[in-house]
Chain A
């Protein structure tokens, strides 16, 4: 990417007493890109997000947002930034969606007339039309969360930081939010940094994914590259019989093995630790007297990849 980074994080460190929350994280995010941050609970996702926003003071490293240093130019950064940090709890339930948007625009220095057109567009895009003037407490979590997202967009931000934007939402609402984020990045050129446990959501919207565990980056690459890296090592083979115990022992030494009986033999799913081990795999099957009726590589979905990386940590296949 030739554009200067919208977010540039270098060697970010943050500890709370004896607990290291973020341990030297570095990454960049660019204009028009959706960057996902994945990690188990307590991995440092939210601390990273809040450090970028200046809500958490970090111990070491440096952050630049939209070309500015948050320690010195936080005001400039916040003018062009929108954030949703606690989903439905980020808005006032005793106010309507319209009032919430007006209030949050106001504290960013915008008047009612400044946001008129954008507010209507957001109401329409998020399907808030029928409830826009009604008290939020009467409505579902999804409506509240959509209002929170509308408030994050209300200052027409160049950068959006969203913490778990689809948490607790039904499929339809999550789909609406997904569509809106894609449009915001691809059409409007906004940069979006999003954390989520919803792997399908991340897989559907993100260009790149940062996988972190215990405050450290395990992987930082595009989804395509992640899939390629893993797809070449997962093989699915149809065999004409069930391999004997000696052959199974050899297979298990080569990688994670799963055998499923089929009508005319057996299905073998094996995740090799190294793509080069495909030859020993074929040798083992041949010497075990197994005939191969079909062989294909399997594209791992993000959930497979994520779980494997979290389990194997830095030893995940490179």
Chain B
């Protein structure tokens, strides 16, 4: 199964990088733990009675969604830029499976790793604080995974633009903070905002975990369709820019 070997190679690359940059990996885990602790303890202490259990849960879930969103965005677009800086981008294009498959696998492995760390830290925080956030992981992660595919699509678009324009860090900064605002938009039942990438899925998860809201099948299908549409658009835009980069011989330039 040669395609399976490409995925295994990306998994190994992720593990090698975590091992090589051990300090960074450790710092990331510790910071995440401290942030969760801060949310479980600190906000309650600062906000006093004004902060309800529900708003705390909402804040934790919001943070998890936001972190996952950043991983999904950086997993494609950010990778194009870093590979370009290193000088290895053209080598990825020499894979018979195509660079888009490699970038998709990079995004998926980064997302899965993020799920793992978040889960561990969340449960560690719950054990430390004694406060329990009830999350149905078998519902939460599949829906989150599907939701993030839309941002992988956006990551592909940015990656494609990065092939030509190289430095697009400012766009990531804008998107990172823009996502926080987008998550607050009213999207259910169907509104114009529902068609924005990521937002419908993020709202579904937040409502499900915090208020126990159950959503109908058609809504889940809508979230899936939304994600697949943006993934498809992202890939199409990426291929368009990739073609332009090959025409202008910009692939190996940085």
Contact = CB atoms under 8 A, between A and B. Distances in A.
A95 B16 contact: yes
A106 B9 contact: yes
Contacts of A47: 249
Interface string B68-97: 000000000000000000111011111111
B90 A92 contact: no
Interface string A163-206: 00000000000000000000000000000000000000000000
Interface string B91-112: 1111111100010000000000
Interface stretch (A74-82, A250-258, A309-317): A74-82
A94 interface: yes
B134 interface: no
A129 B86 CA distance: 25
Interface residues of B, number: 33
Interface string A252-270: 0000000000000000000
Given A55-B90, A89-B86, A90-B88, A107 B248 contact: no
How big is chain A's contact interface, by range? 35 or more
B243 A57 contact: yes
A54 B249 CA distance: 11
Given A92-B86, A107-B9, A109-B2, A57 B102 contact: no
A135 interface: yes
Given A99-B16, A104-B91, A107-B102, A85 B252 contact: yes
Contacts of B231: none
B13 A103 contact: yes
A283 to B, nearest CB: 54
Contacts of B9: 102-103, 105-107
Nearest to B247: A57
B86 A109 contact: no
Given A94-B16, A135-B20, 19 more contacts: A16-B249, A54-B246, A55-B90, A57-B243, A75-B96, A75-B97, A83-B94, A86-B252, A91-B88, A92-B86, A95-B16, A95-B20, A99-B12, A106-B8, A107-B9, A109-B2, A111-B5, A114-B5, A151-B91
17 contacts: A16-B249, A50-B249, A54-B246, A55-B94, A56-B247, A56-B249, A75-B96, A78-B96, A89-B87, A104-B91, A105-B9, A106-B5, A108-B94, A108-B95, A109-B2, A109-B96, A110-B5
